[in-house]
Amino acid sequence: MSLQSENKARAVLVSWISVNHRAGPFIPALKDQRKVLGAPIQELYLCYRDAPGEEGNREREALEETVKTLRQELTPHCPKIHRRPWKTSATPTDHDEIRKFAERVLTFVRQSHPNDVMVIHLSPGTPAMHAVWLALGSTGFASGPVKLIQTSDQRALSSGKPPLQVVDFRLDTVLRRYAAARPYVTEDADSGQVWDLTQIQSQALKSTLEKLRKWAPLRVPVLLLGERGSGKTTLANYLRAESPFQKLKGESWPSVVCGQFRTTPQLARSELFGHVKGAFSGAEKQRTGLLEKADGDTVFFDEIADIDHDTQRLLIAALEGRGFYPLGGEQLVRSKFRVICATNRTLEELTTTLLDRDFFDRINSVVIQVPALRDCTADIPLAWRAVLSQATQIASIQPREWERFRDHPEVLRHLMGHRLPGNFRDLQRVALHLLAELNYGSSDAEAIGNALSCLDVDSGGVGSENIFTPSLPADFPSVLAQFERKWLEAAMKEANGNVSKAARLLGMKRENFNNRIKKYNTL
């Protein structure tokens, strides 16, 4: 029996309380929600200053009166109300302290409601609180679908203003550009936004982002090297967002997956350079090539090693700014663009067999190594939450209570302890298997076990010949802990849970082995 829930647009409202007006600003927001927002507000997060003394008492009193009034006025359609206390002695005008709290709230709400519209109410609170909400909501810090609203007081209503208004205020920032744009063609496992860049923890990924920021302003080719599924498309998207080379603002930008050209070089030339009508059989009309469309922007070549040598030679002139001819055309086309290439092949493979040496020299002005997920252990929970949410959209199902598994300790422990040779593709495979099990009605234990069993055990187990593949820079303590934990788990499994025998298998004293098990809370 399917446990699939209805997949409808929902919204959650986030706001400070209003000490002076109590429930006043919320009644119109919640009564007119469908007409203005297009989605029902299912949950309400009320933020308040839980400060010591009389000032805090006033806030707490206003909170409880607001909650009571909303339930009386809106029942049976009152949203579920959550209280979010800001335990602080800071003043309600301290912008920096307000920002730190507001960032935590918005991050928590987005993690709790990954696919819902986050509605931020700007009216309640102090002017400093308004300013912080406006900044975080308009600059791209708050990821996913976001709407800003304000409600009208009696004076505004008297002047003809509607009770509830959507505030269309957006600033042009790197985060907003990153969130708004995607390459033309992407794979399901990497949509171009697999990372929430405001939440990165690992040193390996932070270092990579720093390198991208350093090179973003320069119109020089960048070559991204990384394992399959490691998020190279997302980093290409971020590099473009940080750069001035982005003519097509808020739109998909020029990219091509070169693997489609392996057996059809003519298709590569038509796609990249365009063609005139009648250039070849089936060319019934003129086509503008990707490179011409990229003029003033950036072009991304994914799987660059799959382009044939003849096309590589033709690309050299275009990369040098000397122009190119569409297939069958006689008119030289010039296009000035920034090029980003990505591949999972090694530099040795690229230079010895796959790429023409002259072409390789044109695309490797900067080579940046993309870290594997196992080198970003601290970020795997963040990656898993994003992939699981995306998987519900790919599979078009949302089994009841699937959100509980976004932070499930058993799932995260296995993912953080596995090599994940397919990186985001492995996470996606686990996510899809998990959703299928939950939708079918499997128990939690059965769903988790079956989902995790889809991982490549040979590639992930201790003793694999590829267990040591260092990628620098790395979060060394996390990498070392992951490595050690895998050996402890393998020994316990081999010993059928007998601690003394497991300790002997690793040549350790039983007491030391026990201490390490407690350290990692394993088995």
The DSSP code sequence of 76-134 is TSPPEEEEEEE---S-TT-HHHHHHHHHHHHHHHHHHSTTSEEEEE-SSS-HHHHHHHH
CB-based contacts of 22-25 (< 8 A; 24+ apart in sequence): 22/62, 22/65, 22/66, 22/69, 23/65, 23/66, 23/69, 23/70, 23/73, 24/153, 25/121, 25/123, 25/124, 25/151
Kindly report the pTM of this predicted structure.
Answer: 0.71
Whole-number Å distance between alpha carbons of 453 and 430? 8
Residue 148's SS3 state is: strand
> DSSP for 365-386?
SEEEEPPPGGG-GGGHHHHHHH
Superfamily, domain 178-371:
P-loop containing nucleotide triphosphate hydrolases (3.40.50.300)
CA neighbor of 432 nearest in space, from 414, 458, 454, 416: 454
As a whole-number percent, the residues of the chain with pLDDT over 70 amount to 87
pLDDT tens string 94-145: 999 999 999 999 988 988 888 889 999 999 999 999 999 999 988 888 878 8
**Two tokens, residue 211:** 């390198």
At 298, list the tokens: 């950036």
Long-range CB contact pairs, 347-353, < 8 A, 24+: 347/225, 349/305, 350/305
- Where are the domains positioned within the chain? 11-171, 178-371, 374-460, 476-520
Does the pLDDT of residue 59 top 90, yes or no? Answer: yes
Percent of the chain, pLDDT > 90? 50
Determine which of 27-31, 360-364, 435-439, 458-462 has the lowest per-residue pLDDT on average.
458-462
Is 50 exceeded by the pLDDT of residue 511? yes
Kindly tell me if the per-residue pLDDT of 472 is higher than 60.
Answer: no
Question: Which tens digits make up the pLDDT trace of 206-263?
Answer: 999 999 999 999 999 999 999 999 999 999 999 999 999 988 766 688 898 888 887 7
State the pLDDT at residue 48. 95
Any idea which architecture 11-171 has in CATH? 3-Layer(aba) Sandwich (3.40)
User: Could you tell me which residues are beta bridge partners of residue 11?
Assistant: 41, 117
Look at residue 61 in the predicted model and tell me its pLDDT: 95
H or E segment to which residue 290 belongs: helix 290-293
DSSP assignments along 417-468, one per residue:
HS--TTTHHHHHHHHHHHHHHHHHT--HHHHHHHHHTTS-HHHHSTT-TTS-
Residues counted in the chain: 523
Q: What is the pLDDT of residue 458?
A: 43
Grade residue 478 by pLDDT with cuts at 50, 70 and 90.
Answer: low
Question: Predicted confidence band at 35 (pLDDT cuts at 50, 70, 90)?
Answer: low
Identical topology for domains 11-171 and 178-371: yes
Instruction: Tell me: pLDDT of 462 over 70.
Output: no
Whether the pLDDT of residue 463 is over 60: the answer is no
What residues does 81 pair with on adjacent strands?
44
Token reading at 299: 């072009």
Rounded to a whole number of angstroms, the CA Rg of the chain reads: 27
pLDDT at 370 over 80: yes
DSSP letter for 354, please.
I
- Rounded mean pLDDT, 514-522: 71
Taking only the tens place, the pLDDT of each residue in 167-197 is: 888 777 776 676 666 676 555 556 666 788 8
- Average the pLDDT over 480-487 and give the result: 71
Mean pLDDT over the full length of the chain:
85
How many CB atoms are closer than 10 A to CB 466? Answer: 9
Is the predicted pLDDT of residue 468 greater than 50, yes or no?
A: no
Of 265 and 297, the structure prediction assigns the larger pLDDT to 297
